[in-house]
Structure 1
């Protein structure tokens, strides 16, 4: 009786595994071709393009859309940055582009301080910490040696030997 139940379970599992393998193979055969070129998009209003990538570039972000060869050439010619990993400017034979340049950082607004975005609370930012070797910090004492390493008197050692410890 239980043999029949186990055979039924095993056969059901084999059928499920075979079906899953057939689905994976079907997906592999019918997978669409990756795009030849992609453009990485920024955030905000209009999602402006940021960088041009080859279609299989692993450095392209999540916000991207496929583009054609002509649009990739046009975007690069208009000054959009090429990816420094997949080098679409080299693959598209556009040698006049500056290689690996990044736009200059924007200047901080007047009165803007970097520490305004610090994770520390405002009242702790102005405090300075005392160095650890200063006298303001409590001195750490050395840990006590284990009992087996402590010196013992001759009488105590003789008593231990006699008791077998």
Structure 2
């Protein structure tokens, strides 16, 4: 006897049922592929001049702000300035203008080490 099969009848019957269902799925897929291969190849439809319409899925997600302020709190020793799309900004980012971000940096706020907003805000680097 095979060692990889269970020894009891209940589990063997369960495996038999599963194998039968799976074999039926495989045979159905084989038949569909054979039918598809038996058909003559069809040409792809010509592209249309009308762009596809946008699905009506409700409002778009809000655009991230250009700059943000992460307030000091648990795990954050000082206020940090981030770019709006920074992955390290945390969940609560207060949107601020570029002028406010510059003022906060001048006032002692820390620039994020990941997105380096100080370089962009002070003109030393362009995004």
> Structure 2 length as normaliser, TM-score?
0.46
The structure number with the bigger radius of gyration is: 1
> Structure 1 length as normaliser, TM-score?
0.37
